[in-house]
């Protein structure tokens, strides 16, 4: 796991350093809210990370404006990849938390172009639907729209 450190009372990490241009990156797009750079280990050709400029750890720490800007940037990057590389198939992926595989503790969205016979496999095991469990989950998770909006 990559380490966090403090500078002037602010949390800094390797992505903060990239955002602040203290270390080099292949930044392909940025604005006031996000920096988008090529992942150093290209899982597939064009693999890009979208990172909020403010250091936030994971999806639970994202504020509404950042969440909006990240999704907008994902659309921009997807279209750049489409125009420049001919990408037609893309996965968007965020790993939040250790069990989910997060290794850099600064929120980032992976934009992952997909190609015929690439080695990525997100295939989920098919289960028979268990409607009793689904009913229980649904009752547990259902929010009124207003209450859900207050969560971000
Ligand atoms: P995750 O496992 O979701 O936390 O993803 C972290 C990603 O950051 C990995 O895909 C790494 O290859 C990528 N990464 C780590 N350091 C750098 C760096 N200096 N520049 C670009 N990508 C990086
Ligand atoms: Zn950071």
Give the span between the Cα atoms of 88 and 106, in whole angstroms: 28
Q: How many whole angstroms from 61 Cα to the centroid of ligand 1? A: 19
| Helices assigned H by DSSP within the chain | 14-19, 64-85, 131-141, 145-149
User: Does residue 9 come out as left (phi exceeding 0), alpha (psi in the -120 to 50 range) or beta?
Assistant: left
Counting ligands in written order, the one closest to the CA of 55 is 2
pLDDT profile of the chain (152 residues), mean per 10: 59 92 98 98 98 97 97 98 97 98 98 95 84 92 78 84
CB-ligand 1 contact for 3 (6 Å cutoff)? no
CA 28 to chain centre: 16
CB-ligand 1 contact for 95 (6 Å cutoff)? yes
Residue with tokens 């602010």: 10
pLDDT computed for residue 68 by the predictor: 98
pLDDT computed for residue 136 by the predictor: 93
Residue of 17, 36, 40, 51 to test ligand 1 pocket, by largest number of atoms within 8 Å of CB: 40
pLDDT computed for residue 113 by the predictor: 98
Q: What is the pTM of this model?
A: 0.92
């Amino acid at each position: 796991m990559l380490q966090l450190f403090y500078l002037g009372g602010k949390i800094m990490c390797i992505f903060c350093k990239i955002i602040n241009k203290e270390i080099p990156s292949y930044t392909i797009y940025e604005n006031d809210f996000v920096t988008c750079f090529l992942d150093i280990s290209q899982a597939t050709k064009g693999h890009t990370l979208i990172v909020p400029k403010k250091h936030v750890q994971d999806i639970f720490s994202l504020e509404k404006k950042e969440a909006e800007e990240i999704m907008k940037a994902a659309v921009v990057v997807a279209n750049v990849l489409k125009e420049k590389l001919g990408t037609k198939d893309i996965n968007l992926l965020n790993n939040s938390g250790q069990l989910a595989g997060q290794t850099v503790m600064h929120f980032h969205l992976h934009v992952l172009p997909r190609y015929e016979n690439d080695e990525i496999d997100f295939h989920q095991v098919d289960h028979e639907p268990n409607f009793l469990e689904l009913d229980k989950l649904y009752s547990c998770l259902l929010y009124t729209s207003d209450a859900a909006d207050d969560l971000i």
